[in-house]
Amino acid sequence: MSNGSSPSSPRRLRGAVAVTCTVLVPACVVGGLVWQSLGGDGARGGDGGPSSAGSRGTAEPGGPADGADGRPPGSAPPSGEPDAGKPLAGKVVVVDPGHNPGNRDHPREINASVDIGTNSKACDTTGTATNDGYAEAEFTLDVARRIRTILEKQGAEVRLTHDDDRPYGPCVDERAAIGNKADADAAVSVHADGSGAGNRGFHVILPGAVKEGGADTRAIVGPSRELGERIAGRFVRETGSEPSNYIGGGTGLDVRSDLGGLNLSEVPKVFVECGNMRDPQDAERLTSAEWRQSAARGIADGIALHLGAAAGKDF
């Protein structure tokens, strides 16, 4: 998704942080700064991967026959007690794969105007693509499915706004409505940018404070920022990507009030622009299945951390 407006002035990095690297990776210093400043918690979750959250409570080799509560390993917890192996049980997450591979075949439908509160916008767009033709819509669907798999293993109920199961769309207003109807604990829209070559890195778009027409984001601005900061920190950690060098002033965060998917949301929601498809260096990452798995882990881990913090837990 290309950037449609000039960025606002999000919070900048808070002071210098010393980071020691045993391998000479250019992103290490910058990534460490963003990770420290945006809520990446190095002491949490073991190696930071989703498996560390999902494996808590399993018996270690040579450990006691029963768990801490006296139950045999693997047995179900008493009714009403959370399962330590499913820390996100009871949580609902909506993942929105940006655009739709079929949008290009339905120009009339996706160009129809919908109300986003502050004004009207097109139902949707085709999204961007790499110079070699790898479509953003294909990328977002792949990453969204990977996020779903990771979070479901931790017990979350995950709903995709679409799963290549409709000819086009949904429109941006419907994408927000799906999260609202689900009363989601968190919603994340997955995208990739279409800026010029040389513009590199990821950024997370946060909702601005809007109260106009059918849009009122005031209640979700705070929790959405917390969600976005968690995701940004974990995205750096898992992917090695640097924050955008062209949006957000090095914070990896951007605040916008012109996106229907955010304006109409009633639940905490952010957009993640995973990289710039038009830059050759970013495109090399975005087209790698291994890197896309890392991106999915970063986003999923950020969601899990946000939900744990919101519930007063430590995943």
pLDDT category at 311 given cuts 50, 70, 90 is: confident
User: Is the backbone of residue 246 left (phi > 0), alpha (psi -120 to 50) or beta?
Assistant: alpha
Q: Please state which CATH class domain 27-55+82-310 belongs to.
A: alpha beta
Residues assigned a catalytic role: 273
CA separation for the pair 171, 173 (Å, rounded):
6
The pLDDT value given to residue 6: 37
Cis before 77? omega within 30: no
The pLDDT value given to residue 42: 35
Residue 12 has pLDDT above 90, yes or no: no
User: Which residues lie below 8 Å from residue 58, measured CB to CB, with a gap of 6+?
Assistant: 73, 85
The pLDDT value given to residue 221: 98
pLDDT category at 1 given cuts 50, 70, 90 is: low
pLDDT category at 191 given cuts 50, 70, 90 is: very high
187 compared with 54, residue with greater pLDDT: 187
The pLDDT value given to residue 22: 33
- Domain spans, the chain: 27-55+82-310
Q: What is the pTM of this model?
A: 0.77
Could you report the per-residue pLDDT of 123-177, keeping only the tens digit for each? Answer: 999 999 999 999 999 999 999 999 999 999 999 999 999 999 999 999 999 999 9
CA separation for the pair 162, 24 (Å, rounded):
40
The pLDDT value given to residue 84: 67
Could you report the per-residue pLDDT of 110-120, keeping only the tens digit for each? Answer: 999 999 999 99
Is the sign of the CA dihedral 45, 47, 50, 56 positive or negative? Answer: negative
Q: Contact, 286 vs 139, CB < 8 A?
A: yes
Could you report the per-residue pLDDT of 225-259, keeping only the tens digit for each? Answer: 999 999 999 999 999 999 999 999 999 999 999 99
CA separation for the pair 236, 167 (Å, rounded):
34
Q: Contact, 177 vs 269, CB < 8 A?
A: no
**Token pair for 79:** 């009714």
Residue 312 has pLDDT above 60, yes or no: yes
Average pLDDT, the chain: 81
Q: Contact, 113 vs 123, CB < 8 A?
A: yes
Could you report the per-residue pLDDT of 48-94, keeping only the tens digit for each? Answer: 333 333 332 333 333 333 333 344 444 445 444 556 689 999 999 99
The pLDDT value given to residue 310: 86
Q: What is the dihedral of CA 310, 231, 209, 158, to 10 degrees?
A: -70
CA separation for the pair 205, 219 (Å, rounded):
17
Residue 170's CB: how many other CB atoms inside 10 A?
Answer: 17
Could you report the per-residue pLDDT of 38-50, keeping only the tens digit for each? Answer: 444 433 333 333 3
SS3 (DSSP) at 233:
helix
**Token pair for 264:** 């109409």
Residue 198 has pLDDT above 50, yes or no: yes
